[in-house]
Protein backbone atom coordinates (compact mmCIF):
# COMPACT_ATOMS: atom_id res chain seq x y z
CA UNK A 1 0.00 0.00 0.00
CA UNK A 2 1.23 3.49 -0.79
CA UNK A 3 1.59 6.17 1.87
CA UNK A 4 1.97 9.93 1.43
CA UNK A 5 5.55 10.84 2.28
CA UNK A 6 5.40 14.48 1.15
CA UNK A 7 2.76 17.07 0.29
CA UNK A 8 4.23 19.34 -2.34
CA UNK A 9 3.14 22.88 -3.14
CA UNK A 10 3.12 22.09 -6.88
CA UNK A 11 3.82 19.29 -9.33
CA UNK A 12 7.39 20.45 -10.00
CA UNK A 13 8.34 20.29 -6.35
CA UNK A 14 6.74 16.85 -6.08
CA UNK A 15 8.92 15.57 -8.92
CA UNK A 16 12.04 17.06 -7.35
CA UNK A 17 11.36 15.26 -4.07
CA UNK A 18 10.46 12.05 -5.89
CA UNK A 19 13.77 12.27 -7.75
CA UNK A 20 15.62 12.70 -4.46
CA UNK A 21 13.94 9.61 -3.05
CA UNK A 22 14.57 7.54 -6.17
CA UNK A 23 18.23 8.59 -6.15
CA UNK A 24 18.40 7.07 -2.68
CA UNK A 25 16.83 3.77 -3.71
CA UNK A 26 13.21 4.48 -2.72
CA UNK A 27 10.58 4.00 -5.41
CA UNK A 28 8.32 7.07 -5.41
CA UNK A 29 5.07 7.90 -7.18
CA UNK A 30 3.86 11.45 -7.81
CA UNK A 31 0.10 11.92 -7.70
CA UNK A 32 -2.09 14.89 -8.51
CA UNK A 33 -1.20 15.60 -12.15
CA UNK A 34 -4.79 15.78 -13.33
CA UNK A 35 -6.07 17.67 -10.30
CA UNK A 36 -3.81 20.62 -11.04
CA UNK A 37 -5.19 20.89 -14.56
CA UNK A 38 -8.68 21.33 -13.17
CA UNK A 39 -7.70 24.76 -11.85
CA UNK A 40 -6.93 26.14 -15.32
CA UNK A 41 -4.37 28.92 -15.55
CA UNK A 42 -4.35 29.57 -11.81
CA UNK A 43 -1.36 28.06 -10.04
CA UNK A 44 -3.03 25.30 -8.04
CA UNK A 45 -1.33 24.29 -4.83
CA UNK A 46 -1.63 21.40 -2.45
CA UNK A 47 -2.76 18.76 -4.92
CA UNK A 48 0.57 17.06 -5.55
CA UNK A 49 1.72 14.33 -3.23
CA UNK A 50 4.70 12.00 -3.25
CA UNK A 51 3.77 8.44 -2.35
CA UNK A 52 6.04 5.59 -1.27
CA UNK A 53 5.54 2.00 -0.15
CA UNK A 54 4.79 1.33 3.51
CA UNK A 55 8.21 -0.14 4.21
CA UNK A 56 9.96 2.93 2.74
CA UNK A 57 7.88 5.56 4.54
CA UNK A 58 10.17 6.18 7.53
CA UNK A 59 13.33 6.43 5.43
CA UNK A 60 11.59 8.67 2.88
CA UNK A 61 10.50 11.10 5.58
CA UNK A 62 14.03 11.15 6.97
CA UNK A 63 15.46 12.02 3.55
CA UNK A 64 12.86 14.75 2.99
CA UNK A 65 13.60 16.21 6.42
CA UNK A 66 17.36 16.24 5.73
CA UNK A 67 16.75 17.83 2.33
CA UNK A 68 14.60 20.59 3.83
CA UNK A 69 17.18 21.37 6.49
CA UNK A 70 19.90 21.86 3.89
CA UNK A 71 17.74 23.75 1.37
CA UNK A 72 17.86 27.07 3.20
CA UNK A 73 15.12 27.12 5.80
CA UNK A 74 12.11 26.18 3.72
CA UNK A 75 8.90 25.40 5.54
CA UNK A 76 8.57 21.70 6.23
CA UNK A 77 5.77 19.94 4.41
CA UNK A 78 6.80 16.42 5.30
CA UNK A 79 3.71 14.56 6.39
CA UNK A 80 3.56 13.81 10.08
CA UNK A 81 1.84 10.78 11.56
CA UNK A 82 -0.99 13.03 12.79
CA UNK A 83 -1.78 14.13 9.24
CA UNK A 84 -2.09 10.50 8.11
CA UNK A 85 -5.04 9.93 10.43
CA UNK A 86 -8.54 10.46 9.06
CA UNK A 87 -9.84 13.96 9.55
CA UNK A 88 -11.94 14.38 12.69
CA UNK A 89 -14.42 16.69 10.95
CA UNK A 90 -14.87 14.27 8.07
CA UNK A 91 -16.00 11.59 10.51
CA UNK A 92 -18.61 13.90 12.02
CA UNK A 93 -19.78 14.98 8.59
CA UNK A 94 -20.24 11.37 7.49
CA UNK A 95 -22.02 10.56 10.73
CA UNK A 96 -24.42 13.51 10.33
CA UNK A 97 -24.97 12.60 6.67
CA UNK A 98 -25.85 9.02 7.63
CA UNK A 99 -28.33 10.21 10.29
CA UNK A 100 -29.94 12.66 7.86
CA UNK A 101 -30.21 9.92 5.24
CA UNK A 102 -31.92 7.59 7.73
CA UNK A 103 -34.38 10.32 8.71
CA UNK A 104 -35.20 11.09 5.09
CA UNK A 105 -35.71 7.40 4.34
CA UNK A 106 -38.19 7.16 7.21
CA UNK A 107 -40.15 10.21 5.96
CA UNK A 108 -40.44 9.03 2.36
Q: Is residue 103 a part of any domain in this protein?
A: no
- The CATH number for 64's domain is 3.30.70.1530
Q: In this structure, is residue 99 part of a structural domain?
A: no
Q: Is the separation of the CB atoms in 9 and 77 below 8 Å? A: yes
Q: Give burial (CB, 10 Å; 0-12/13-18/19+) of 107.
A: exposed
Is 98 within a domain? no
Structural domain that includes position 47: 2-82
Residue 91 lies in a domain: no
Q: What number of other Cβ atoms are within 10 A of residue 62's Cβ?
A: 13
> What's the domain count of the chain?
1
Q: Please tell me which residue, 103 or 89, carries the higher pLDDT value.
A: 103
* 97, part of any domain: no
- Is residue 33, in this structure, part of any structural domain at all? yes
pLDDT, tens digit, 9 for 90 and up, residues 33-82: 766 555 554 445 557 889 999 999 999 999 998 888 886 544 445 555 55
Distance CA 81, CA 71 (A): 23
Asked, for residue 58, whether it belongs to a domain, the answer is yes
Domain membership of residue 26 (yes or no) is yes
Q: Is the pLDDT of residue 11 over 80?
A: yes
Amino acid sequence: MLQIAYRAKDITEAHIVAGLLEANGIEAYVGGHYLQGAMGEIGAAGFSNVHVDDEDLYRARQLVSEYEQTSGGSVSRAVSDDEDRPDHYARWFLFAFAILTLILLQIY
